[in-house]
Each structure stands twice: as C-alpha cells, then as structure tokens.
Amino acid sequence: MNNRIMVIGGINADITGFSREPLVHNDSNPGMIEISAGGVGRNIGENLIRTGFEVSIATAFAKDPMGFFLMESCKNIGMDTSCSKIFDYGSRSSIYLSVVDADGEMETAVSDMEIFENLSISDIRRSCDKLEEADFIVMDSNVSVEIIEFVMKKYRHKHIVFDPVSTSKAGKLDGINWSAEILKPNILEAEIISGIRMDSLEKTIEGLKRINGLGICWVLMTDGANGAWLSGKGRVYRCPAFLGGKKNVNGAGDAFLAGAVYGRSNGRFETDMLYYGHAAASIAMESSKTVNPEMSVEMLDKRMEELKRCLKVEEI
C-alpha cells in the first residue's frame, strides 16, 4: 500500500450544537454542545491515519487557546505538523460553528476561516521534501488559488486529490489549470465547476465528463441520499446511498474521500472507490464527532464488504 499522505488544507475547531428535539427557529433549543478538532483537510487526514496511512499536514495555526488545542489534537493522533505555519498572537484560529437537528442533519453553520488567507506559496515551499516523498497529496480549497495552482503544476506527477469544500469556495476554482487524479465535489459544487445544472441524467453525465475534460482523471461526486457518482476514462458509474443510522452528517464527505483514497491506494477496482467512500461515510455518521474515533482498517474493510452485498454500482 502507498501510505504516505501530504495534506494541504484546512484545520479548525468544530463547535457543534445538537438539538434534542426538532429545532424551533428564533428560539433557544435545549441540547448538547461539543467542541472537537475538525476542518476538511484535517478530517480527511485523521481518517487516513486511522486506516493505516502516515499523514503530514501543511495548514495554519494561531497562537490562541483553540490553536493550541488543534496542535495538541494533531499530536495525539500522530499527524505531523512540522510543515504548518504558526501565526503570531492576534490571528484567530479557524472555527466552524454548526447546529444539528434531532435527525442528525446540519441545519445551519458559520465558518470563520480567515487565517488561511495568510498562507503563502513560500509557506508551502517549506513542505517540498514532504511533498516529494508523498504517495498522495490531498488538498482542499481553504488555501489560495495560487497555492493550488503551484502544487498542481510542480507536483503533477503525483496522485493529487482535491476537495472543493463548499459552493462558495468552488467558485474561486474557475479557470484553474487542473492536474488532479481525484476530485470530490458534491453535486452543487460540481454544477459550479462544470457550469452545468445537473437536473437530469443526461445533464449529470455531461457535467461530469466536462469536469474530467478540465484535467481530472476521476470525479467522485456525492449527492446526499441520492448516492454518489464516479466518472473517468470515458466511463460513468452510479451507486445508491447507504441509508444507515446517523448521529451527525458533518464530516461524512471528508470520510468519503478518505475511504476513496484508501480504495485507490490498495490497487482495487476503480468502482471500489465508491464502495470504500460509502463505507467510510457511513462509519463517520455513526458518531457525534466529525471523525469517528472507532474508524479502523478492520471496520472499513468489513463495512465495505457489507455494502458490496447490498449496494449495486451500475455503469451508465
């Protein structure tokens, strides 16, 4: 297994409010509040650590209580932060504040991620040795377009995996010179990147293939309860969603991408990226935390085999 990963992307403190009852807007709702380490890049990295990978991260930390908490969280799980930038006092740690309803679905969220705007290409150049050693480079769009294009140009010979993060951040990717092996948007992000509204089977296939044509080998598109798609090498596959139990959907997409990387790195069939993605996402949703601390190689392999028996991937 190719197991060295370099993550370039976001890390933040996740503050999540879980309502005990159906949410009442414009009112105070009884529930539970949890604080945990998160961020798209970090979440993907932690899931990969828990499934046997060595992970380093290039990200931004602030010298504030949340920043020290986040640095300690990385140390505790064995994530190397030697390539990350620690900003002086006065910077704010990235924080993601969300409210989850009684059914485990995110109702609303606010993100404060201004610190990542201070990361520069020179900061990433400090990671060159780690980037050359990495088997996979995982990036998210919390970092600047300049950093994204620098990495894609300089390390185009590597397995580059990319997560657009959100519709607002997907918008800044227009015009990028892509060179990526795997892109994992959700359907809304994919519509922005492709410029096509995917409101029919034909339009969905057209949009996916347009994204492939930008310079992306495989597009892994998630569509919530409607399942996921895989497009590449002239083929398009669709897989229904696994409708298991859920406590929290936050982090499911990050786990999906980590599962897909696990499947890809093991040299399995290309469609196993879908199965492993669904398997990892279903495990993530069983925990109130954004990364399920029970995630492991054994659990992921077992869940994938279970899903293969109940989910059918079809080529369109």
Question: How does residue 119 score in pLDDT terms, banded at 50, 70 and 90?
Answer: very high
CATH label of the domain that carries residue 295? 3.40.1190.20
User: Structure tokens of 180?
Assistant: 């990526």
Measure the CA–CA gap between 172 and 193, rounded to whole angstroms: 9
**Nearest residue to 131 via CA among 71, 82, 67:** 82
Phi and psi at 14, nearest 5°, equal -95, 120
pLDDT of residue 293: 93
**How far is residue 124's CA from residue 152's CA, in Å, rounded to a whole number?**
12
pLDDT in tens, 130-152: 899 999 999 999 999 999 999 99
Provide the 10 A C-beta neighbour count for residue 64. Answer: 16
Q: What percent of the chain has pLDDT over 90?
A: 78
pLDDT at 267: 65
Residue 85: per-residue pLDDT: 94
- pLDDT at residue 93, rounded to an integer: 95
pLDDT value at position 82?
A: 93
| CA gap 300, 3 in Å, rounded | 16
Please give the tally of structural domains in the chain: 1
Provide, rounded to the nearest whole percent, the portion of the chain with pLDDT above 70: 98
Phi first, then psi: what are they for 13, rounded to 5°?
-85, 125
Q: Is residue 270 domain-resident?
A: yes
- Closest residue by Cα to residue 185 from 260, 101, 291: 260
Residue 90 is assigned to a structural domain of this protein: no
Q: What is the mean pLDDT of residues 262-284?
A: 91
| CA 56/CA 19 separation, integer angstroms | 35
Tell me whether residue 77 is in a domain: no
Query: Within a domain: residue 100?
Result: no
Q: What is the pLDDT of residues 184-202, one digit of tens each?
A: 999 999 999 999 999 999 9
pLDDT at 1 over 70: no
**30: DSSP letter:** -
pLDDT value for 302: 95
Task: Pull the structure tokens for residue 175.
Answer: 């015009």
Angstrom distance (rounded) from CA 7 to CA 162:
10
| Residues 211-252 pLDDT 10s | 999 999 999 999 988 899 999 999 999 999 877 666 767 788
Closest CA relative to residue 95, chosen from 84, 110, 80, 83: 110
Q: What is the mean pLDDT of residues 1-30?
A: 92
Q: What are phi and psi of 265, to 5 degrees?
A: -70, -20
Would you say residue 254 lies in a domain? yes
In a domain, 185, yes or no: yes
Residue in 222, 215, 147 with CA at minimum distance from that of residue 180: 215
What is the reported pLDDT for 311? 87
- The residue segments making up the domain with residue 182 are 4-10+39-59+120-315
Give the per-residue pLDDT at 90: 77
Question: Contact at 8 Å (CB) between 282 and 308?
Answer: no
In a domain, 217, yes or no: yes
Is 174 part of a structural domain of the chain?
yes
pLDDT tens-place string over residues 45-94: 999 999 999 999 999 999 999 999 999 999 999 999 999 999 987 789 99
Between helix 252-265 and helix 272-284 the angle, nearest 10°, is 140
* pLDDT tens profile 146-187: 999 999 999 999 999 999 999 989 989 998 989 999 999 999
How many whole angstroms separate alpha carbon 131 and alpha carbon 138?
A: 10
